Structure 1
Amino acid sequence: MNASNEASKPVEPSSERTRLKRYHWLAKYDRDTINAIIDAGIVCQIGYVIDSMPYVTPTNHWRIDDYIYWHGSSASRMLKTHQEGIPVCFSVTHLDGIVFSRAAFNHNVNFRSVMAFGKAEFCEDEVKRHALEIFTDRLAPGLWDYARKPAEQEWKATKVIRMKLDEVSAKVSDGLPDEEPEDCISNRWAGSVGLRLVQLPPVPDPKLRKGIEMPSFIKNFRYLK
């Protein structure tokens, strides 16, 4: 098989659990699309079960190669349970717009989302320290070197969990309303309104000592999305 045929070959889902059944034409299984959606934000949702009770916890996430990472307090029941290797569902969604139809049934939203299944694992100290440095600089390049480094007690108080992105898929909707032919000839308006997160100017801490200049990574900060 030549390179052009290989490139045009559709990407299959990594497992039946990640194969989209409903609106399957919105599915994206290629890793570039999946990684871009994960990297476009810093908040995800982690679903899991503890003592037969389901939980969904919002938290910060970041990706290094084929792993997704999140962190929290060493006292967190969520993290203590995750490090035992329980099944976890990771998801992240970006709302990109509202789609207005001529028919009430066909209103919709435009979005990008990723869902992944797997088992979380606890990061040992060396991996944890490297991962948190990557996470900090992902927020704003240069932030790690600028800020005071964690004290040993702060390191001990923090856990980092990661999950391999083996079972993962994306779903992307970026279209206009799907209208019935009879609705298209009506006098009603249809279309879409795009949405985006707006970045506001930096607000200095009122406790700053006089003469402290704003660092360049704040002046140049742009939200990841």
Structure 2
Amino acid sequence: MSDQPRAGRRARRTDVRRLPELQVHDVATLHAILDEALHASVGIQVDDQPFVLPMACARDGDHLLLHGSTGSRLMRALASGAAVCVSVTHLDGLVYARSAFESSMRYRSATVLGTATEVPAPDRLRALEVLTEHLLPGRWAELRTPLPKELAATSVLRVPLDEWSVKVSTGFSEDPDEDLHQRVWAGVVPLRTVLDAPVDAPDLDPGLPAPAHVRERRLPG
């Protein structure tokens, strides 16, 4: 592929300019990257100052859900129609090359551009269930119903998955021929996120074990 837009088509904001051969246009790959994510980096501009903040997220069909406090300046700005950029990246490995220049990382990344809208009050409880079950599978059925004051203090936003870009790097280093003779190891050190054994809260009732959905949880990917 070329860095230049194809003849007869204007460059889109989501076109990958650097290493365009790594861009993936398959929506299933976008969904897989988002479904594996427990948080996203959310970028907006408020009063001429850019901000990027981490937020919990969950995909709900063709939307990405974000949630936070109704008192948050970020959430209020997003709800009012500020343009948003949401980014998710999974680091899958460190790529060791025979030079610092060719060393890199394996990754899967997704960027979503658009405008967020607030989930209407009648749909907010379901949206919170989607978020909870994504972050803590099996938990919603065990918890009490959120109190009215808790719902009033919580804002849930959804960003449509209409304008997005996915970039995936899975290879090894591409050392130039003149470096291949060097007696320097080259390869990949894989990276992955793991879940350790659950730790009881200090105020937990004695003898209350962690449920199976906590003890046996596995991450996707």
Do the structures match in fold with TM over 0.5?
yes
Which structure shows the higher helix fraction?
1
RMSD, aligned α-carbons: 1.5
Partner of residue 145, structure 2: 149
Gaps of 5+ in 2: 1-8
Q: SS of the counterpart of 1:109?
A: strand
Q: Does 1:27 align with 2:58?
A: no
SS at match of 1:117: strand
1:11-63 per-position Cα deviation (integer Å, ceiling 9, x unaligned)? xx9x7011111100000111000110111111100111111111101110100
The structure 2 residue matched to 1:186, chosen from 182, 189, 200, is 182
SS class of match (1:16): coil
Report the TM-score when normalising by structure 2.
Answer: 0.92
Query: 5+ unaligned residues in a row in structure 1: which ranges?
Result: 1-12
Which one is further off, 56-65 or 180-189?
180-189
Shift of residue 161 of structure 1?
Answer: 0.6
The AA in structure 1 aligned to 2:143 is A
Q: How far does residue 205 in structure 1 lie from its aligned partner after superposition?
A: 1.3
For the 8 Å contact 1:28–1:172, the answer to whether it is kept is yes
Instruction: Tell me if the contact between 1:41 and 1:224 (Cα under 8 Å) persists in the aligned partners.
Output: no
Aligned length: 212
Identity of aligned residues (%): 37
Distance 1:206 1:104 in 2: 47
**Which residues in structure 2 correspond to 1:27-66 (within 5 Å)?**
27-66=23-62
Match of 2:214 in 1: 218
Q: TM-score, normalised by structure 1?
A: 0.90
Match of 1:133 in 2: 129
SS at match of 1:36: helix
Instruction: Classify the secondary structure of the residue corresponding to 1:81.
Output: helix
Partner of 1:5: none
Contact 1:43–1:59 (CA<8 Å) still a contact in 2? yes
Q: Does the residue aligned with 2:101 lie in a helix, a strand or coil?
A: helix
1:163 matched to 2:164? The reply is no
Establish whether residue 123 from structure 1 lines up as the match of residue 122 from structure 2: no
